Structure 1
């Protein structure tokens, strides 16, 4: 008895498919002019420009001015942002898990936490310079949340009533690693304590199947 064929995924709507092709072109060929991209796709320059404008609004691409070959008239080119690069598959999590596994095998269980804690100390030093204790707590929390969001955690600040604040991470970009190495989450908790100089309690954790990582700041 033969297995039933897998159903093919429905095709993307034409505008979305065009945007995806634009991203692929920029990924493969690097910075491109709107004229080059339009020619690749067999479409008009105004049509390509509209799609590129949408991608810019989404933060996936950016425009800059450069001279072809270092000379000649300046021209606008489009290129992927870090967010646009992140839209393509990466194997960072697999590499990280492999490295931590070998580290643990060579130097023992405590080695993983030592390395992650050393990283947290370095990060805390940078953050403390930008978020000194002289700033109001709310401003420091919002600055920390903004930094976390840049790192892919989609973090927000909640609360404020009765002096109780929360940082809520609605995404975990390191989920594959965190599920296998909870030391990563312990190290993150330590980072918050170092940066804020206050007690921090984790109430929920994405790696445990909950919807967010929720940190209570203060007693």
Structure 2
């Protein structure tokens, strides 16, 4: 009796959507028909997946004429959120650039770059915190702004002591390679709040969060 080959695992909707995003990225004219042909599924099925991806904000549809002529047709394109689903080497590029800055301009060059960025960001934060004189309100407002930048920040008080935490680091690989980034952040909070600020935990050192003690 012959050995039966294991059945191929069924294609999940999530896998189909992932393949569909790849097809849109690769296709010069990503119409529903072209995408259905490329993935080997029916047009009604592909339209359901396309609608799901539009609802998720990963695709948008445009009306274009093929080659600038002929009847208009609906063409699907990736949004910024759709592009973000593909792997990016931004962290590696950033580390490489900073490494070259350090090699070309000396050990203090990276810190000077970080300080320049810190001063610019400090101006942005200061304008958003203007009008908050109370420390609690100021830290809560600061945490809200940091969340907009992807830091997953939170301000809270414990036994009369204020803390600011960040559960996400937008550039963990860079922070690990160049601790000057974390030092610039600590200096930023000290200058912005005009109070003593100390760091008690750090994501890039393996902690679950960056935690700052304020005041």
Select 1:115's aligned residue among 113, 116, 119.
113
Partner in structure 1 of residue 138 of structure 2: 137
Contact kept in structure 2, 1:142 and 1:157, CA below 8 Å: yes
* SS of residue in 1 equivalent to 2:37: helix
1:26 aligns with 2:27: no
1:206 aligns with 2:207: no
1: CA distance between counterparts of 2:102 and 2:69? 53
Q: Cα 1:142–1:210, aligned 2, differ >3 Å: closer, same or farther?
A: closer
Select 2:35's aligned residue among 37, 41, 50.
37
Deviation larger for 73-82 or 45-54:
73-82
Partner in structure 2 of residue 3 of structure 1: none
Deviation larger for 84-93 or 163-172:
163-172
Partner in structure 1 of residue 175 of structure 2: 178
Aligned residue pairs total: 203
Q: Cα 1:80–1:65, aligned 2, differ >3 Å: closer, same or farther?
A: closer
CA positional deviation for 1:35 = 3.8
Structure 2, unaligned stretches of length 5 or more? 1-7
1: CA distance between counterparts of 2:99 and 2:33? 48
- TM-score, scaled to structure 2: 0.74
2: CA distance between counterparts of 1:25 and 1:123? 38
Select 1:188's aligned residue among 185, 201, 206.
185
Partner in structure 2 of residue 62 of structure 1: 59
Contact kept in structure 1, 2:155 and 2:162, CA below 8 Å: yes
Deviations 1:145-180 (A, max 9, x none): 33222xxx4x13242567755443323232222111
2: CA distance between counterparts of 1:24 and 1:145? 32
* SS of residue in 1 equivalent to 2:76: strand
CA RMSD of aligned residues (A): 3.2
1:156 aligns with 2:153: yes
Contact kept in structure 2, 1:157 and 1:165, CA below 8 Å: no
Contact kept in structure 1, 2:140 and 2:155, CA below 8 Å: no
